[in-house]
Amino acid sequence: MKHSATISSAGAGPAASLSADKLRQARAAQSMLAAMLIIGITDNAVPLMAEHIGLGQFYLMRTLIALPLLLLMARAGLGGLRPVKLGAVTLRALLLAVSMVFYFSAVALMPLAQALAGLFTSPIIIVLVSVLFLQMRIGLVRVGAVVAGFVGVLLVLQPDPGAFDALILLPVAGGVFYALGSIATGRLCQGESTVSMLLVYLLVQGLMGAAMLLGLQLWPQEVAAGADGFLTRGWVWELWQIAHLILLQGFAAVGGVFLITRAYQLGEASFVAVFEYSVMIVGPGVAWLLYGQVLNGWQILGIGLIMAAGITISRRSS
C-alpha cells in the first residue's frame, strides 16, 4: 500500500510539472494579448491628439504621466530603478525612443495598419543586421520569410513609383530603429531589471520631447492645421479636450510594456512572439470602428505575409 502510494506520487511529478509549464505559457499568452489590446486601442488615440498638440509635447507629457506610475511599480517590488550598465541601457533607450518618434509620426499621418506594417518589419531587419554585421548564418526558410515579409510591407504601404511619397518611409524607419533596439536589448542588457530599462527609456523619451519643443521655440516652423501639424507644432496650453487621452497614453506606456515584459518572463520567447502580432488585427480593427479606415484585399494579404514572416522568423530563431 505504501509502495503503491510512492509510485502514484512519483508518477504525478512530471504531470504536475507539465501542467505548471502549460499554465505559465497560457499566462504568458494572456499577458501579451492584453498588452497588444492596450496598444491597439491607445495608439488609435494618437491621431486625435495630433490634431491639438505636437510630437514633442506628446512625448514629454506621456513621460510625465508615466514616471509616477513607474515609481509606484518600483516601490511595489516589481524591479530596481538603477541600471547595472547605464551606457548600454541608455543606448537601447535612445534607439527605441527614436523608433517611436518615427512610429508615432506615422500613426498621426497615415492609417494605423500602414504604421504597424512598417514597425513590424523589425524581425526581418534583425535577421538582415545579424547576417550582414553579426556573421549569423540562416537557412532557406528564414530567407523565404524575409522575402515574404518585404513583399507584405510593399502590399500594405502600396508606394506609387510614379509619385513617390517619402512619408511611407516613416514607419519603416521606425522598424529599423526598433530592430536595433531589440538587438541592443538582447546583446547588451542581460540581467537588467524591466523597471530600470523602462525608467531610462522614459527619461530619454522625455528629454527628446523637451529638445523638440526647445528647437521649435528657437526656430519656429509653419504649422499646418490638424494632424498635419503634428511634427512642427510647439507647446499648446489648451489641453482640456485631450486631457483624458494624455492620461490614457501615460498608463499605456507603462502598462503595455510591463505586460509585454511579463509575457516574455513567463513563456518561451518564440511562443510569446506569435501573440505579439495580434496588434496587427486589433489596431486596424479599432481604426475601422473609430475612423472607418478600410483595408483593401492586397493590404490584408500584406498583413498576413508580415505576420507569417515574423512568426516564422521567431519560431526558427528559438
Structure confidence at residue 49 as a pLDDT band (50, 70, 90): very high
> pLDDT tens across 72-104, in order?
888 887 778 889 899 999 999 999 999 999 999
Compute the Cα dihedral for 142, 144, 145, 146 and give only its sign. Answer: positive
Average pLDDT, whole number, for the chain? 84
Q: Could you give the CA distance from residue 109 to residue 229 in angstroms, rounded to a whole number?
A: 9
211: cell is: 529638445
Residue 8 has pLDDT above 70, yes or no: no
Distance CA 104, CA 130 (A): 26
Q: State residue 90's pLDDT score.
A: 95
For the chain, the distance separating the N- and C-terminal CA atoms, rounded to the nearest angstrom, is 45
Residue 139 contacts residue 316 (beta carbons within 8 Å) = yes
pLDDT for the residue numbered 5? 47
State the cell numbers at 207. Answer: 528629454
| Res 4: pLDDT | 47
Contact 211/90 with Cβ under 8 angstroms? no
In contact, 75 and 137? CB cutoff 8 Å = no
The per-residue pLDDT for range 139-149, each reduced to its tens digit, is: 788 788 888 88
Count CB neighbours of 164 within 10 A: 10
Asked if the model's pLDDT at residue 217 lies above 90, the reply is yes
The answer to whether residues 59 and 212 touch, using CB atoms and an 8 Å cutoff, is: yes
| pLDDT above 90 (res 57) | yes
**pLDDT at residue 236 is higher than 90:** yes
Distance CA 100, CA 42 (A): 14
In terms of Cβ atoms closer than 10 Å to its own Cβ (0-12, 13-18, 19+), residue 150 is middle
Give the pLDDT of residue 164: 64
The continuous run of DSSP H or E covering 43 comes out as none
Q: What DSSP character marks residue 191?
A: T
Please give the biggest Cα pair distance in the chain. Answer: 87
CB 174 within 8 Å of CB 102:
yes
